[in-house]
Structure 1
Amino acid sequence: MIPVAKYHGTGNDFIVVDADLSVPDRRRFATDYCDRTSGIEGPDGPSGADGALFLALEPAFDPPRVIMTLVQPDGSVASMCGNGARVAAAWAADRTGRDEVMIDTPAGTRHAVVGDDEVTIEMGRPTFDPAAVPVARDGPMVDEPLAGLAVTAVNTGVPHAVAFVDDVDAVDLEAVAPVIRHHDAFPDGANVTVASEHDGGGFRQRTFERGVEGETRSCGTGAVAVAAVARRAGRIDDGPVTIRPPGGDLTVSFEDGRAYLAGPVVHEFDAELSPARPRRA
């Protein structure tokens, strides 16, 4: 058995594993324990998760560094996850007592600041370049009709297809999103995010995540994608702007073209899991 921790960032939840511990098959570990009906047990029964974060802490660096690998419930590895990186920063801060952490991800190294009430992480420069998203177009995809939505493609560490709508609750995301997520326009697939203006300012957000293959309560890269598309369209300036996924509010701002994502992180519980869970007959 190995010790693990369960964290969430505005409802985007993760099983956190110290990468120094032996997990022979990380993909199987993630698919088993992230399952919402039979996965990791919380205080109130099976809770599952949106992914398993394998974190290698290197405390000798100044500031400390964390090598982050996110394995999603379908066994795929995500190159970036905004809320996951914020969780990784909080986990490292708990172990080092430091309020600044560097997070090494497949999408690049990101600087995080851990405060009393929120964790802020630098998310890099959003790009609409079709080769970088990637999207199978000669130029940027902006407000292109797909599955009844006007879709703009942007990469915020992972590819997102973003559509602004009148009311996010009126969108049947489970029906519409898979069509866009697997569309030929996106050779690597895409996360699908819809957004609408909020009466109190900012934008409401819902995201269907690639790799989770369903809607999540929050998506950090999706929140940045909403802000980036809104900024490109002249709806907002460099911020800060409040993005409101179902799991809680996030704040996105920009400085010299770089996006910053801020919001709370919660340590839910600790547990012990078998690194190789026996398969059921």
Structure 2
Amino acid sequence: MSALNTVPFEKFHGTGNDFVVVDAEDPVPDRPEFARTHCDRDAGISLTESDRRGADGVLFLALEDRYDPPRVVMTLVQPDGSVAAMCGNGARVAAAWAAERAETTEVMIDTPAGTRRATVEDDYVSVEMGVPSFAPRDVPLDSGEELVEAEVGDLTVTAVNTGVPHAVAIVDDVDGVDLESVAPSIRHAPLFPEGANVTIASPDGNGGFRQRTFERGVEGETQSCGTGAVAVVAVAKRLGLVEGDDPVSVSPPGGELSVTVPDEGTALLGGPAVHEGDGEADVVFRQR
């Protein structure tokens, strides 16, 4: 593998869910290989400001500021080279990046899962997440029936799509689950023809939830997952653990998120989006 040239990048994180951000105008001919190389946790991108190498994905962002409000086209390439249809924390990072350049507090984000509206106040970003769906064809499921509190692998899960598919298990204590051990069999279960993120949650005693997620495409646990946080609240409402339209606190290992899943209308995800630093990254290609 050789370096052809370099492109500037910025590094952001949303409650520990970290991303390399590249302006889509900068040419990266092989985006999957770029992501596989620079997201690697052992040998990937590093900043002097942080001792954590690699990232949970690369956000290629294209700002279209001729619109009102400005639009940003978001493409998230994951560490395995695949493209994610939606990422809640990635969308919040994209909004923060675009809002700074367009000098605005409101941004429209174009994703493969649809267009989402975001508002930015300092480093706090709220983004529309669409309407969670339990429908088998939306998740999708290899079944004609919704999957609600069913045994899959070692967990009792409910399947929901919050932009990407999630298998959510409400457990007594998230710290008592060996997620890296139990998640892969669920993530790859034949019931999920496109795979699924595996999210576990437990009540925090204050009306909110603690959350951990094993992410499809990362193939491991991340410090935070925005679509997973929304999935937790959507499933909790479905199971009668949460009522009403008030925001619910969801705390992954990387921080705290605010999630609203109304009885009607789009879900909302709010939390910090933090700029970590800038650098130059090799544009890589494979020698053949």
**RMSD (Å), alpha carbons:** 1.2
Does 1:253 pair with 2:251? Answer: no
1:79 to 69, 85, 90: 85
Gapped runs of 5+ residues in structure 2?
1-5
Instruction: Please give the TM-score of this superposition, normalised by the length of structure 1.
Output: 0.97
Quote the residue 1:23 is aligned against: 28
Quote the residue 2:56 is aligned against: 50
2:110 to 88, 93, 104: 104
Quote the residue 1:135 is aligned against: 141
CA distance in 2, matches of 1:254, 1:154: 13
1:124 to 108, 130, 138: 130
1:268, distance to aligned residue in structure 2 (A):
0.2
The answer as to whether partners of 2:211 and 2:253 remain within 8 angstroms in 1 is yes
CA distance in 2, matches of 1:45, 1:242: 29
CA distance in 2, matches of 1:37, 1:174: 18
Does 1:264 pair with 2:258? Answer: no
Instruction: Please give the TM-score of this superposition, normalised by the length of structure 2.
Output: 0.94
The answer as to whether partners of 2:30 and 2:285 remain within 8 angstroms in 1 is no
CA distance in 2, matches of 1:121, 1:259: 9
1:50, distance to aligned residue in structure 2 (A):
0.1
CA distance in 2, matches of 1:278, 1:2: 17
The answer as to whether partners of 2:260 and 2:267 remain within 8 angstroms in 1 is yes
CA distance in 1, matches of 2:154, 2:51: 39
Quote the residue 1:241 is aligned against: 248
Does 1:214 pair with 2:220? Answer: yes
Does 1:160 pair with 2:166? Answer: yes
Gapped runs of 5+ residues in structure 1?
none
1:236, distance to aligned residue in structure 2 (A):
1.1
Per-residue deviation, residues 169-225 of structure 1 (Å, max 9, x unmatched)? 000100100000000100000000000000233000000000000000000000000
* Percent of aligned positions that are identical: 63
Counterpart residue identity of residue 150, structure 2: E
CA distance in 2, matches of 1:177, 1:257: 31
1:117, distance to aligned residue in structure 2 (A):
4.1
Q: Which stretch shifts more, 129-138 or 8-17? A: 129-138
1:34 to 26, 36, 39: 39
The answer as to whether partners of 1:38 and 1:46 remain within 8 angstroms in 2 is no
1:275, distance to aligned residue in structure 2 (A):
1.6
Per-residue deviation, residues 9-68 of structure 1 (Å, max 9, x unmatched)? 000000000000100100000000000110002114561000000001001100000000
CA distance in 1, matches of 2:72, 2:210: 31
